């Protein structure tokens, strides 16, 4: 029966695309003459800072692959967003990258950890922790898209862990995420050092990245680093976490100074099949905000659970957060939480979106 469930997962998960997935070649910087094209005057450049526990790709050393590195790598990529970019979409190259139509890499720079932290500084910071079945280039360009469309001032940082980027790599991905727990906790500690609690670092963990985020928070608490936790604003989007496990994690972490927010969708098929593989143990990302037990859990744990099932979106339910964070309003991410400081479970229409 387990093999049948795995086969069903591979056939039905909405994460499977019909078109070939982008390879690491999309991260090769374009040549300078191409950028002089007058058609690029409306393009936008965004710098994505990155920390990764992936090893360099052996066949494409300008990128990072699925293997684990003994220590994190640091650096940044400059990405060009084309003039006709549609909010919420990633304009992948179809063949040779064309800056007039596609996301393209302009530059990439590797940095030592100390220089990385100096350059990032004490500005507004948002850290994106991607989910299962995600390549480095997919995670990097997703954050470039979110950074361009969410209109959030500050510096976006990708924390990329060694996902197999394969639909059948679920167990290996979970191990790769767990392997990266200490590195993420260390990054959180580094980024919050000397920072005011009134200027927290935003952490966005998607899917299995939500599990990794929670494990890093738990490790910080067990290490006596409440000072770090007080300087974090954590959002879990479609978190692939067993609900009972989440309760235990929060029992250790305790209520955060900036309440943790969970974005859920009741129609998330990816998490439904994850629950099936886990003997039908419910996933946090499909929690029912109308369930009295879920409402009580949110109140007791001091968290906010927001159901975005009814949000109009062209994305699969598992990636619906992209539509939410890619709104046209300035500082759309921050506006989600305005007037919603109390713990509880909410539907989308209850927060004015």
CA-CA-CA-CA torsion sign (221, 227, 228, 231):
positive
The pLDDT assigned to 137 comes to 98
Return the biggest CA–CA distance within the chain.
61
The pLDDT assigned to 281 comes to 79
User: H or E element: which one contains 107?
Assistant: strand 104-111
Q: Give the bridge partners for 110, in sequence order.
A: 75
Give the long-range contacts of residues 293-296, CB within 8 A, separation 24 or more: 294/345, 295/344, 295/345
CA 11 to chain CA centroid, Å, is: 24
Check: CB of residue 321 under 8 Å from CB of residue 237.
Answer: yes
Q: What angle do CA 34, 20, 167 make, to 5 degrees?
A: 130
Check: CB of residue 11 under 8 Å from CB of residue 273.
Answer: no
Complete edge-to-edge strand list for the sheet that includes strand 304-307:
104-111, 64-81, 44-56, 155-160, 125-129, 201-206, 232-237, 261-264, 304-307, 344-347
The pLDDT assigned to 65 comes to 97
The pLDDT assigned to 275 comes to 82
Q: What is the pLDDT of residues 151-200, one digit of tens each?
A: 667 899 999 999 999 999 999 999 999 999 999 999 999 999 999 999 99
**DSSP codes joined into one string, 2-18:** HHHHHHHHHHH-TT--S
Delimit the domains of the chain by residue range: 2-16+44-351
> What's the rounded Cα separation, in Å, for the pair 113 and 262?
31
Q: Phi and psi at residue 272, in whole multiples of 5°?
A: -60, -40
The pLDDT assigned to 36 comes to 59
First-to-last alpha carbon distance for the chain, in angstroms, is 42
Rg for the chain (alpha carbons), in Å? 19
The pLDDT assigned to 19 comes to 56
Measured CA distances, 97 to 34, 81, 330, 339 (Å):
10, 12, 29, 43
Angle between helices 208-222 and 170-179 (to 10 degrees): 30
The pLDDT assigned to 316 comes to 92
Measured CA distances, 146 to 89, 157, 195 (Å):
9, 11, 24
Q: Give the bridge partners for 233, in sequence order.
A: 202
The pLDDT assigned to 152 comes to 65
Q: Which parts of the chain register pLDDT below 50?
A: 1-18, 328-332
Check: CB of residue 184 under 8 Å from CB of residue 104.
Answer: no
> What's the rounded Cα separation, in Å, for the pair 272 and 172?
19
The pLDDT assigned to 328 comes to 42
Check: CB of residue 65 under 8 Å from CB of residue 54.
Answer: yes
């Amino acid at each position: 029966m387990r093999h049948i469930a795995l086969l069903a997962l591979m056939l039905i998960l909405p994460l499977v695309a019909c078109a070939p997935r982008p390879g690491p070649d999309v991260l090769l910087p374009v040549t300078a003459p191409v950028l002089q094209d007058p058609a690029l005057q409306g393009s936008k450049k965004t710098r994505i800072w990155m920390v990764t526990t992936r090893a360099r790709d052996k066949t494409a050393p300008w990128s990072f692959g699925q293997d684990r590195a003994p220590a994190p790598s640091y650096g940044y990529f400059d990405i060009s967003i084309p003039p006709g970019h549609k909010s919420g979409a990633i304009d992948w190259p179809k063949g040779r990258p064309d800056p007039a139509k596609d996301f393209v890499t302009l530059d990439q720079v590797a940095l030592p950890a100390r220089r990385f932290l100096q350059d990032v500084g004490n500005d507004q910071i948002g850290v994106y922790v991607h989910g299962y079945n995600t390549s480095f280039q997919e995670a990097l360009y997703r954050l470039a898209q979110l950074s361009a469309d969410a209109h959030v001032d500050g510096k976006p940082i990708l924390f990329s862990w060694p996902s197999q980027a394969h639909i059948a790599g679920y167990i290996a991905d979970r191990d790769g995420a767990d392997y990266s727990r200490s590195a993420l906790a260390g990054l959180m500690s580094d980024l919050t050092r000397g920072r005011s609690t009134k200027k927290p670092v935003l952490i966005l963990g998607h899917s299995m990245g939500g599990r990794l985020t929670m494990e890093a928070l738990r490790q910080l608490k067990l290490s006596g680093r409440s000072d770090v936790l007080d300087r974090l604003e954590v959002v879990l989007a479609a978190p692939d976490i067993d609900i009972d496990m989440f309760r235990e994690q929060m029992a250790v972490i305790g209520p955060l100074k900036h309440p943790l927010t969970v974005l859920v969708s009741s129609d998330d098929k990816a998490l439904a099949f994850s629950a099936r593989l886990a003997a039908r143990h419910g996933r946090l990302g499909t929690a029912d905000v109308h369930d009295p037990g879920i409402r009580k859990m949110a109140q007791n744990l001091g968290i906010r659970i927001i159901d975005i099932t009814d949000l109009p979106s062209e994305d699969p339910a598992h990636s619906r957060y992209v539509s939410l964070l890619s709104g046209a309003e300035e500082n759309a991410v921050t506006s989600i939480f305005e007037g919603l400081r109390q713990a509880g479970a909410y539907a989308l229409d209850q927060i004015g979106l």
